Structures are given as C-alpha cells and as structure tokens.
C-alpha cells in the first residue's frame, strides 16, 4: 500500500512535503524523511434526534409518563445494569423522579426539570457511568417491556421510540466495536432486542 500526499490546511510549511500514514501488508510503513499523517476520522456518528411533539404528553398524560419512567428504571435496577443505580430506596426514588421530570417536560408537559437543572446535556450527565453498545441495547429493550407494563398508548409509541432510540446513541461513552451502533426501528426492535429483554436480579446480601 503506497503512501499518498496529504497536507493539512493549517500546515505552516506545506512546501516541506508530508505523506499520509498508512499500514502496509506487513505492518507499519517504515519511517522516512517526511512527516507521515493519519487522515482525520470520526469514531462515533450521532444521528439527529427527533424530540417528541406535544401529542405525546396530550395522549399519554403526566401520570402515565411517570409510570413509564418508574417501571423502566425498576427493570434496569433488576438487570445487569443495576449497578448503575443507587441501592438506597430514597436515592433511587429521587433519581427516578428527576428522570421523569425530564421526560414530562421534553414531551410537552409542565417545566418540572429545567428550573432546577437548566439546559442539561444528557450525554455529559452520563459520563460518570461506563455505557457501551450492549448497555444501550439493554436500556432500549427494557423500555419496550415497560411500554407493555404500563399500557403506554400504541398511537404514540413510534414517536416516543424514535426519540429515545436516537438519543441513546449519544449516551455511549465506551466503544467495544468499530462498527457504528445498530439502529432499531420500532417495527424491528422486539425481535432484534429480544436477547436483551431478560433481566438478572442481583443477589441479596444477607447481613452477618
């Protein structure tokens, strides 16, 4: 594999000549007299996120949206992602309420979240937790089950799902594969995410 000429736009000495750094058949190309470069690339592509319209709140109502968030978090607590949640019941309830406040406001309900949290970036808020592609798939699968658990209205499921499915890609902060994260249209999600629907309850440690 031969090296191709590549000059960065901000190179102050373009006349010096540089070559693009590439892999040969037997490994790295040998160092020469010119600077070698690796072309710029993006590791993770973020798709556009379609935030839901007010129809979601109008049809579901605040109480059912809060039920959905609560049930989803309960399922996650019972899954292999349970370690991401506090075990203290009061702290867990506060976290669920905060998440529900965000969902209610984002879907057109009263401003329960932004007055106390401002314009929070969900990706930034999740940086303290290791979230990979598999964690995203578990998160989405438990939402599908929570839909049925609380009787979330069928007519608004696609709109709500399109929002959380796209947004969930932005929560990934640890890559385990080079391919871009899989996409899960609602029509295909129940089958494709079925391997991630089983929950695992963490063992209860008896006090000694």
What's the pLDDT tens digit per position in 58-73?
999 999 999 999 999 9
Write down the pLDDT at residue 2: 43
Q: Where are the chain's structural domains?
A: 1-41, 54-196
This prediction has a pTM of 0.78
- Answer yes or no: are the C-beta atoms of 66 and 74 closer than 8 Å: no
CATH code of 54-196, in short, is 1.10.490.10
Write down the pLDDT at residue 125: 72
> pLDDT confidence of 34, banded at 50, 70, 90?
confident
Q: Which is nearest to 21 in space by CA: 8, 4, 42, 33?
A: 4
| Mean pLDDT taken over the chain | 84
Tell me the pLDDT tens digit for each residue of 98-155. Answer: 999 999 999 999 999 988 876 667 777 777 778 899 999 999 999 999 999 999 999 9
Residue 34 CA, chain-centre distance (Å), reads 41
């Amino acid at each position: 594999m031969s090296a191709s000429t590549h000059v960065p736009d901000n190179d102050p000495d373009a006349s010096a000549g540089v070559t693009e750094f590439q892999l040969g058949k037997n490994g790295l190309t040998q160092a020469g007299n010119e600077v070698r470069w690796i072309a710029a690339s993006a590791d993770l592509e973020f798709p556009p996120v379609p935030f839901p319209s007010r129809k979601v709140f109008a049809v579901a109502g605040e109480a059912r949206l809060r039920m959905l968030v609560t049930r989803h978090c309960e399922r996650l607590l019972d899954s292999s992602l349970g370690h991401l949640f506090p075990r203290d019941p009061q702290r867990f309830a506060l976290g669920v309420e905060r998440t529900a406040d965000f969902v209610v406001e984002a879907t057109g309900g009263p401003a329960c979240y932004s007055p106390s949290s401002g314009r929070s970036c969900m990706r930034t808020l999740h940086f303290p937790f290791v979230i990979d592609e598999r964690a995203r798939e578990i998160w989405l699968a438990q939402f599908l089950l929570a839909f049925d658990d609380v009787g979330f209205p069928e007519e608004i499921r696609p709109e709500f799902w399109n929002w959380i499915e796209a947004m969930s890609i932005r929560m990934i902060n640890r890559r385990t594969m080079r391919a871009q994260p899989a996409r899960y249209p609602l029509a295909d999600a129940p089958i494709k995410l079925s391997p991630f629907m089983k929950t695992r309850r963490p063992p209860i440690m008896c006090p000694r």
